[in-house]
Amino acid sequence: MADRPTRIGFAATPREAGPNDAVTLIAHSHIGAFDQCIVDYLHPRKFPIIGPASSWTLRATTLVATVGIFQFNTYDIGLTELIAKVWTA
28 marked ligand binding residue: yes
43 marked ligand binding residue: no
- Which long-range CB contacts under 8 A does 14-21 form with residues at least 24 apart? 17/79, 17/80, 19/70, 19/73, 19/74, 19/78, 21/79, 21/80
Cβ(66)–Cβ(23) below 8 Å: yes
Which residues fall in the annotated binding site for heme b?
A: 28
Which residues fall in the annotated binding site for a ubiquinone?
A: 41
Which residues fall in the annotated binding site?
A: 28, 41
